[in-house]
Amino acid sequence: MDISRLEKLAALGGLSLEGTDRERLRLEISALEALAATLPAMEDEEEPGPSHPAAPLEREAADGDRELVSDNTPAMDGVFFLTPGVPHRGDRDD
Amino acid sequence: MIDGPAPTMARARRLRQEDAAAFQVHEYRRLEESRARQQALGAITHWLPAPGATKVPQAGPLSGFDAALKANIAAAGAPTHCGSLFLEDYRSPFDATVVRRLREAGVHFSAVTAMDEFGMGSSSEFSQIGRPVNPHDPRLSAGGSSGGSAAAVAAGHVYFALGSDTGGSVRQPAHCCGVVGLKPTWGRVSRHGLVAFASSLDTIGVLARCVADAWDVLRTMAGADPLDATSQDQPALESDYLTEQSWRGVVCAVPEDLEAWDVDHAVLAHQKENEAHLRSLGATLQPVPLKRWGDGLAIYTVLNAAQAASNLQRFDGTLYGRRGAGSSHRESLVAGRTAGFGPEVQRRILLGCHVLSGGFRDRYYLRARAGRQALTENFRHLFGGADILAGPTAPTAAFPLGTRLRDPVAMRRSDIFTVPASLAGLPAVSLPTGTDPAGLPLSLQLVAPWWRERRLCALAASLESSLGKGDSRG
């Protein structure tokens, strides 16, 4: 990974690469890519919606058949930004 | 370093009833000795003042017990530093829901514990504020990221401690320090007041000296919370004392292919001993392949980095933490974050930006989410035929400090057996069940179906009791 790519990532992350061990960072990115490469490729890239892991994978359709719910992953896209936490924007307003 | 067992809450209640004055003397000595030992142990970063007598409910079910909280859980006026120089001076203006509920039950939070910065690590060595060592041997890691909480409980500083578990951060340090580590179902316990790391994985858990104590704490702090939309409205955990449950007839899944997982010989041998013991208690063992678990670390690494990078964007120095020097908002933001965040946190932010960036999101993040769904379905299938899963908590006993700092893969492998339950949102408990030839603690991890904490704890307590441990200890 070239330095300009690392600098772009740092800009996205609100960080400076000054003082960063770049070799270690490259090693980490390579390790992550190697790990991610072991994951099975998806048949389609459609993004599933969030739900709780305990939610059923199937639900009853209008015609009485069982149909798959699109997702069973508690991945929380669009929600985790709102998860109450500390520190959190707005917590100090009251 | 442990020179005399501290009592469990159950035993302390009995001692208090038998002779209140003698118990008070015992408590005074415990606290004095504990504070003297703390310098060497490094588990506690801050001691908190005792509350005024009128502020502690004298009749609360947990009245008279002191506890510690991990530095990423808010308590009014206490440092919520998350192990980070960025939040070194931050004091929370309010109590987390779990802290409020436990205070209402009579708990006194006496200490804040050291942790890997923002929960990122498995040895607590990535802490910038306090670095705990293992109470059994100061050359060894206490585990992480709730290493300070585990060490504080093991050393008898407190009766129990709160931790957070994103990929094993309660169970793995519990294993390293020889205490009980309980992670509830994702959604069982409110996270209002927990500093978010990877929100689809974060849970608040308990470190305690026996299962009954962990259960007492869990049922006190569990339940839906209007301040956390992700907490679930499940039936309350029964308020009566945990009744042990027989293992007779319980179908217990056990890993059939552990040898392929690069697990230490001592851990392998101990798992065989545990399986024989469970069989002797009447459980029916059902070997199951763990092949899906192999994806767990990859899935976890991607999701964790992506969500951490998003969550930590809120730390811009405007409302919280350090603000660096600079002629523009952008410059001061970058300067503050670069100076305040440690190297591991910075690396994870950069990794998160990488996996979420254009062209990589499908290849990494969405693929990881699909893998998580498959893993969850794998568990659902497993629990269609088994009541519980029993395997090692970690592939090794506590490891020497410094040995995994330069090797991210080795560090991540510490969590290889804890990550799958986190990804599926399942409840799990790490129970100390023996020691390796060097005398270091080894554990059994029990994983139950969603929302079955009561049965999980009842079976764990029964196993604990059969091993001569539990609330009679101390």
Identify all chain B residues contacting A25, using CB atoms and an 8 Å cutoff: 347, 350
A49 vs chain B: nearest CA distance in angstroms? 10
**In terms of residue numbers, what domain contains B281?**
251-289+374-384
A40 vs chain B: nearest CA distance in angstroms? 7
| 3-state SS class at B433 | strand
Q: What is the pLDDT along chain B (474 residues), one digit of tens a residue?
A: 444 567 899 889 888 889 988 888 888 888 888 888 888 899 999 999 987 655 656 678 899 899 999 999 999 999 999 999 999 999 999 999 999 999 999 999 999 999 999 999 999 999 999 999 999 999 999 999 999 999 999 999 999 999 999 999 999 999 999 999 999 999 999 999 999 999 999 999 999 999 999 999 999 999 999 999 999 888 777 655 677 789 999 999 999 989 888 899 999 999 999 999 999 999 999 999 887 787 899 999 999 999 999 999 989 888 888 889 999 989 999 999 999 999 999 999 999 999 988 778 778 888 899 999 999 999 999 999 999 999 999 999 999 999 988 887 788 889 999 999 999 999 999 999 999 999 999 999 999 999 999 999 999 999 999 999 876 443
Catalytic residue among B145, B190, B430, B443: B145
**Do B379 and B401 belong together in one domain?**
no
Contact B82, B195 (CB under 8 A): yes
Identify whether B436 is part of a domain: yes
Identify whether B200 is part of a domain: yes
Inter-chain contact B314–A87, Cβ cutoff 8 Å?
yes
Identify all chain B residues contacting A71, using CB atoms and an 8 Å cutoff: 373
**Do B321 and B433 belong together in one domain?**
no
Q: Tokens 């300070």 map to which residue? A: B148
The minimal CB distance from A73 to the residues B187, B321, B369 is found for B369
**Do B326 and B450 belong together in one domain?**
no
pLDDT value, residue A43: 64
**Do B136 and B271 belong together in one domain?**
no
Q: Tokens 């960072």 map to which residue? A: A25
pLDDT value, residue B50: 82
Residues contacting residue B215 through CB under 8 Å, at least 6 positions apart:
B182, B242, B453, B457, B461
Of B335, B368, B401, which residue sits at a domain end?
B368
Identify whether B1 is part of a domain: no
Identify all chain B residues contacting A45, using CB atoms and an 8 Å cutoff: 362, 366
**Do B341 and B462 belong together in one domain?**
no
Identify whether B471 is part of a domain: no
Of B360, B384, B408, which residue sits at a domain end?
B384
Identify all chain B residues contacting A23, using CB atoms and an 8 Å cutoff: none
A78 touching B (Cβ < 8 Å): no
pLDDT tens-digit map of B122-167:
999 999 999 999 999 999 999 999 999 999 999 999 999 999 999 9
The minimal CB distance from B298 to the residues A20, A38, A89 is found for A38
User: Residue A71 and residue B210: Cα distance in Å, rounded?
Assistant: 37
Residue B70 a catalytic site member: yes
Identify whether B355 is part of a domain: yes
Give chain B's radius of gyration (CA, Å): 21
Which residue ranges in chain A fall short of pLDDT 70? Answer: 1, 42-94
The minimal CB distance from A54 to the residues B200, B408, B425 is found for B425
pLDDT value, residue A81: 35
User: Residue B296 and residue B379: Cα distance in Å, rounded?
Assistant: 12
Identify all chain A residues contacting B199, using CB atoms and an 8 Å cutoff: 76, 79-80, 83, 85
**Do B428 and B343 belong together in one domain?**
no
B119 DSSP 8-state letter = G
**Do B395 and B257 belong together in one domain?**
no
A62 touching B (Cβ < 8 Å): no
**Do B414 and B332 belong together in one domain?**
no
**Do B44 and B68 belong together in one domain?**
yes
A contact test, residue of B94, B95, B162, B230 with most A CBs within 10 A: B230
B203 vs chain A: nearest CA distance in angstroms? 12
Identify all chain A residues contacting B90, using CB atoms and an 8 Å cutoff: 87
DSSP codes, A48-87 = PPP--TTS-SEEE-TTS-EEE-S------TTTTTTS--SS
**Do B360 and B432 belong together in one domain?**
no
Return the closest-CA partner of residue B294 out of B172, B381, B382, B416: B416
pLDDT value, residue A46: 46
Residue B84 a catalytic site member: no
Identify whether B197 is part of a domain: yes
At position A86, the amino acid (one-letter code) is V
Contact B80, B234 (CB under 8 A): no
Dihedral-angle region of residue B432 (phi above 0 means left; psi in -120 to 50 means alpha; beta otherwise) = beta
User: Residue B55 and residue B41: Cα distance in Å, rounded?
Assistant: 30
Strand B428-435, strand B180-183: pairing: antiparallel
Domain ranges of chain A: 3-37, 48-83
Number of domains chain B is built from: 3
Within 16-35 of A, beta carbons closer than 8 Å to B belong to 16, 18-21, 24-25, 27-29, 31-32, 35
User: Residue B410 and residue B177: Cα distance in Å, rounded?
Assistant: 19
B contact test, residue of A5, A20, A86 with most B CBs within 10 A: A86
B467 vs chain A: nearest CA distance in angstroms? 32
Contact B206, B181 (CB under 8 A): yes
**Do B206 and B129 belong together in one domain?**
yes
Q: Tokens 């951490």 map to which residue? A: B308
B250 vs chain A: nearest CA distance in angstroms? 22
Inter-chain contact B314–A73, Cβ cutoff 8 Å?
no
